[in-house]
Amino acid sequence: MAARKNSMEENVPPPSATTTKPSTKPSTQSHYVTAVKPAARSALSTQAGSHQSMTAGRKLPQRSMMPSGPPAKETEAEPKTAVPSLPVDKAQQPTVLSNHNQQPAKNLGVAASSSSSTNSLFGGGMMRQGWSIDNFEVGRALGKGKFGQVYLGREKKSRFVVALKVMFKEELKKNGVEHQLRREIEIQTHLRHPHIVRMYGVFHDATKVYLILEYAPRGELYRLLEQKGHFNDAETATYVTELASALIYCHERKIIHRDIKPENLLLGIYGELKIADFGWSVHSPNSRRATMCGTLDYLAPEMVENKPHDETIDIWCLGILVFELLTGKAPFHCTDAEGGQMETARRITHISYTCPPSMSEGAADLIRQLLVYLGSHRLPLKQVLAHPWIVANKQDRSRQLTI
Residue set of the binding site: 146, 165, 214-216, 263-264, 277
Report the catalytic residues: 259
41-94 pLDDT tens trace: 333 333 433 333 333 344 565 555 454 444 444 444 444 444 333 433 333 333
With the C-alpha atoms ordered 169, 171, 175, 180, is the resulting torsion angle positive or negative?
A: negative
Residue segments in the chain with a per-residue pLDDT below the cut of 70: 1-129, 283-294, 400-403
Closest CA relative to residue 36, chosen from 124, 155, 135: 155
227-269 pLDDT tens trace: 999 999 999 999 999 999 999 999 999 999 989 999 999 999 9
Residue set of the binding site for ATP: 146, 165, 214-216, 263-264, 277
pTM: 0.70
The rounded distance, in Å, linking the Cα atoms of 15 and 216 is 27
Closest CA relative to residue 44, chosen from 54, 36, 52: 36
Mean pLDDT of the residues in the chain:
74
pLDDT value for 217: 95
pLDDT value for 4: 54
Q: Where do the domains of the chain lie, and which CATH numbers do they carry?
A: 72-214 (3.30.200.20), 221-393 (1.10.510.10)
